[in-house]
Chains A and B, each alone.
Chain A
């Protein structure tokens, strides 16, 4: 097998990089097709059937997204993706309350769009606390409590980390924030549809959702904005006032429908997927660690989402291992895979030694990953780690 050309029957690499993106679930594609073909109306067209049927589809999708997280339809705003949702949550909330509140709390392991939004706020005169994480990747709740200031407007902590898979104690964080009457935002892109998330249970005030992480289409996401108690935010995008004035722009019906369908399918499949993925993950980790010495799992063993496994193979550089595993699509925290020579900031934040950070590989197991794919990946991984250690 080798890298595939189109239409020449060549085999494509096994896909083990679901944290980067996921394939469309066929049921999602099915739901989208009518809106890519005959039902092409603009959902904001009030005066004809094209508009009405498009609007109905968008509203159906909105309900599906809301159902997955225990929210009300009115609290779901469609966006272009979790990056936009994160920008809206952080910049939007901070700016709305800026006359009285100038402080934001987040963590060092957030996604770049959260960190960069915070940096942008700092240049506007806000203060931001970037909480460190413990060696296991989780935040220290005592440090969070100590970080609050009288003018804190927002706390932003992601639910599941995209690099190492750790699950933050969202329940506890929500409780702490609610007691102090500070809004709690969570980037749940890697969490929803995979683990149960309920905005009321977890006292979440804002949440970012990504379509293409849950077998939905790329280019769409959503933001949950709580209405009781009401969260206000300054819109980033001005225009015709769509999405309750919070996010102007024509809602892309086929994409919204796809996101809704992805959420509905995920809700159905969550339990089964979780069980299967946990078994496959256990299989992968156990096999590798029993055959190969000097392998470290990055991130807490227990408080994690099983489908995201980040391993450091001592004495083997990440990119060379990816090159050796050319039949498997994976990613690495090594610097060589980024444009700079710095290794992953998430691994640095959990205190990984620099050489181990360069030796990390992320394995993603998803809804469509088979046992054979896991076994092949494990076998090749063991083989090439041994070989590279000789070099």
Chain B
């Protein structure tokens, strides 16, 4: 069924009806990065986790989201896209690509922004875990 007026794009509904990568990874594992973005007060919270192998390639990703259909779809799509990419490649994922893929209307663009933030937060967390001394060194510099 196509979109009728203000009905959600079918791509968005699909991510809810056929969810991919819902769940959690072990946040204590050294090669898992966890990003938690958003706020319940805004009606949008996303947790995105990535598992990175020794070659810097993302081999698994999971998400959990408190938010509207577009938020769920954006974070779900994000986990699909990061899989198989290197950390640096994943950092290049832009919210505009997510929004375009899901046909998000203008009022829902912030959901795709939050998903991009979630990816970056997860990867930043991963990087920090790999080299905690680096941050110490940077702080002293």
Q: Which 5 A-B pairs have the closest CB atoms?
A: A355-B40, A358-B43, A319-B68, A354-B41, A323-B69
Which of B70, B72, B107 touches A339 (beta carbons < 8 Å)?
Answer: B107
| A320-B69 CB under 8 A given contacts A3-B4, A335-B43, A336-B43 | yes
A334 near B19: Cβ-Cβ < 8 Å: no
Q: CA–CA, A368 to B42, complex, Å?
A: 36
Smallest CB separation, B104 vs chain A (Å): 12
Closest residue on chain B to residue A336 by CB atoms: B68
Chain A residues with Cβ under 8 A from B16's Cβ?
320, 323-324
Question: What residues on B are CB-neighbors of A335 within 8 Å?
Answer: 42-43
Q: How far is the CB of A375 from chain B (nearest CB, A)?
A: 22
Contacts of B22 in A (CB 8 A): 390-391
* CB neighbours of B113 from chain A (8 A): none
Q: Is the CB of B7 within 8 A of A334?
A: no
A148 beta carbon closer than 8 Å to chain B: no
Q: A3-B7, A317-B71 are in contact. List 11 more A-B contacts (CB 8 A).
A: A2-B1, A3-B1, A315-B66, A316-B66, A323-B13, A323-B69, A336-B68, A354-B40, A354-B42, A354-B43, A391-B19
User: Which residues of A approach B to under 8 Å, CB–CB?
Assistant: 2-3, 315-320, 323-324, 326, 334-336, 339, 341, 343, 354-355, 358, 390-391
State whether the Cβ of B8 lies closer than 8 Å to any Cβ in chain A: yes
Q: How far is the CA of A3 from the CA of B1 in the complex (A)?
A: 8
Number of B residues whose C-beta is below 8 Å from A?
A: 25
Complex Cα distance A260/B42, Å? Answer: 44
Report if B84 contacts A (CB, 8 A). no
Given the complex, which residues of A lie within 8 Å of B68, measured CB to CB?
317-320, 323, 334, 336
CA distance A317 to B65 in the complex (A): 9
In the bound complex, residues from chain B placing their C-beta under 8 Å from that of A326 are 13
Interface residues as binary, B30-45 with A (CB distance below 8 Å gives 1, 0 otherwise): 0000000000111110
Chain A residue at minimal CB-CB distance from B17? A324
Q: How far apart are A8's CB and chain B's nearest CB, in angstroms?
A: 11
B64: Cβ under 8 A from any A Cβ: yes
Q: Is B94 positioned at the interface, with any CB of A under 8 Å from its CB?
A: no
C-alpha spacing A335/B42, complex, angstroms: 8
Residues of A within 8 A of B110 (CB): 341
A358 engages B13 (CB within 8 Å): no
Q: How far is the CA of A324 from the CA of B66 in the complex (A)?
A: 14
